Chain A
């Protein structure tokens, strides 16, 4: 594992590289460019950066108009305001006409930290996943973020990219990593149970799997970066081969990765599924680390969920 990076930092750096490679890339922000890291692009390409002020609906609508005119807009703000405040412009002005807008939302989840519940978006995946034509991606680390942002720029159509504020460990090696649209990545093989994680919970899942190994439990770990369209085959195979599933996400267990996995499995390969995530609750102020512990998003919590899943499997 290499150094820790916040996925928003990797996003900011990759945007600059893309800006150099493709003059059609434009970036919009809503007065949060220092936090979302689009300021890096703004400094190098001031003519292609549009600060839309604290006006998220117009941010999305303007991005739609730029895309309709051949540009590749990346629209950034916090996940809460992007998907909450601007839901309808995203649905009607971007997704319905399938316009080529990339919504890169940072500060998703509890790890926003001290800002508290008003800024800790735990519903964005559920909201974006319900919109037709929308692709939903949540990278696990800085390496994956770079690949995701590049792939999103090359893809024709709307994409929602979920990014975080806090530094996370790099679980991938840049030279070996290869991103495939809509394909999950098996991080570790195992036969007793499968932990399916997304975003920063992929690192926690790996840690849990190592600890479980010491107790003789062989856990498979899968990183689902593309939550929609989800890798149905990989999930189905994991269920058939290991017989029990635990999902892990820094998002509400309602409507996020856990729901998406359960939707696949109840139709195609019913096995016990235990969801680790925020339990239908708002967050609160605290450090990222304290919040992950208090709201049950640690490797230890994943291990407890695995035990429950194995018990259910044995019945």
Chain B
């Protein structure tokens, strides 16, 4: 992204379509993770439709920007975004989590165009993103690496190993987002294992830290643009989000971390998702 030009109306409409797919995919698969997918919709839409330099016609274009979904259980939001961006036909989405489908429960880089890293076991994607950023530096290339981690995921020790290394190697071509929805399977972060103060922790580990409303395109895109200008250290964009965003009965409910909607719940959700849920 070289400028701040983007069409926010288009992005909002894309977000609506991604959310609808998340509901349809998890309902169809009778499994999957709607909560943490819905919380990351604006981040993914902004990355793939406004921020990243990519070419869906040539998924392996050498100079493309890379994105690693470290919180791999949010695969529905990634798959829906990739399909809408043109990496593969939208019809594929109905095969999510089915036998012989390329759309595995968690991202599989070998089978899915546009997926840069196989993830799903928490804590590992950020390390791979560091390796990619190191490779870009070695090759003196200007492509950038983006990653999305979760707040629950931040309980993994490996995240902090990667955090230390990214600062040590001054990976200013690495921008990570933290989907800070405050919830994980067993309850709130606070109940399960306190992660705060996250901003202070990342700052202490040597990162530039920016904080945004994770459902506001303007704030997300401005932060990613700002991260580009920061030299000598990686940037963490802590995005305050709502788990289950856009579906009233899913919002802020840990129960919806990894549960599929029933037929009736799906119908209610899709009715709610006929309109834009975030006006920012």
Do A and B interact? yes
Give chain B residues whose Cβ lies under 8 Å from the Cβ of A69: 66, 131-132, 135-136, 139
| Nearest CB of B to A58, in Å | 4
What count of chain B residues pass the 8 Å CB interface test? Answer: 35
Cβ A47 vs Cβ B138 within 8 A: yes
A68 in contact with B128 (CB, 8 Å): yes
Within 8 A of A (CB), among B113-157: 116-121, 123-136, 138-139, 157
A58 and B110 contacting across the interface, CB-CB below 8 Å: no
Closest to B128 in A: A65
When chains A and B are docked, how far (Å) is the Cα of A52 from the Cα of B130?
11
Instruction: Name B141-189 residues within 8 Å CB distance of A.
Output: 157-158, 161-162, 164-165, 168-169
CA A211 – CA B128 in complex, angstroms? 52
CB within 8 Å for A48 and B127 given contacts A55-B161, A97-B117: no
B108 interface contact, C-beta 8 A:
yes
Shortest A165–chain B CB gap in Å is: 25
> Which of A1-9, A34-42, A87-95, A119-127 makes up part of the contact surface?
A87-95
CB pair A53 B138 closer than 8 Å: no
Q: Does B278 contact A (CB under 8 A)?
A: no
Closest to B116 in A: A68
**When A and B form their complex, what is the total count of cross-chain residue pairs whose Cβ atoms lie within 8 Å?**
106
B108, B129, B135, B157: which has the most chain A beta carbons within 10 Å? B135
Closest residue of chain B to A58 (Cβ to Cβ) is B161
Chain A residues with a Cβ closer than 8 Å to the other chain, count: 29
Residues of B with C-beta under 8 A to A65 = 68, 117, 127-135
Say yes or no: B158 contacts A62, CB within 8 Å: no
In the assembled complex, which residues on chain A have CB atoms less than 8 Å from the CB atom of B130?
58, 61-62, 65
Say whether B127 contacts A64, CB under 8 Å: yes
Q: Is B109 interfacial (CB-CB < 8 Å)?
A: yes
How far is A89 from B127 in the complex, measured between Cα atoms in Å? Answer: 9
Q: Is A27 among interface residues, defined by CB-CB distance under 8 A?
A: no
B117: contacting residue among A47, A53, A93, CB under 8 A = A93
Instruction: Decide: A68 and B132 in contact? CB cutoff 8 A.
Output: yes
In Å, the complex CA distance between A52 and B135 comes to 15
CB pair B118–A92 under 8 Å, yes or no, is yes
Report chain A residues within 8 Å CB of B165.
52-53, 55, 58, 62
Q: How far is the CB of A23 from chain B (nearest CB, A)?
A: 9
Interfacial chain B residues near A57, Cβ < 8 Å: 123-124, 127, 157-158, 161
Inter-chain contacts of A60 with B (CB < 8 A): 127
A102 within 8 A of B: no
**A70 in the interface (beta carbon within 8 A):** yes
**B169 contacts A50, CB within 8 Å?**
yes
Tell me how far the C-beta of A89 lies from the nearest C-beta in chain B, rounded to whole angstroms: 6
- Say if the beta carbon of A155 comes within 8 Å of chain B: no
Residue of A nearest to B141 (CB): A69
List of 7 A-B pairs having minimum Cβ-Cβ separation, nearest first = A65-B131, A61-B127, A69-B135, A58-B161, A65-B128, A55-B161, A62-B131
- B contacts, CB < 8 Å to A: 66, 68, 108-110, 116-121, 123-136, 138-139, 157-158, 161-162, 164-165, 168-169
Supply 18 further A-B pairs (C-beta < 8 A) apart from A66-B135, A93-B118.
A48-B138, A50-B134, A57-B123, A58-B127, A58-B161, A61-B128, A61-B131, A62-B128, A62-B130, A65-B129, A65-B134, A66-B134, A69-B131, A73-B131, A89-B127, A92-B120, A92-B121, A97-B109
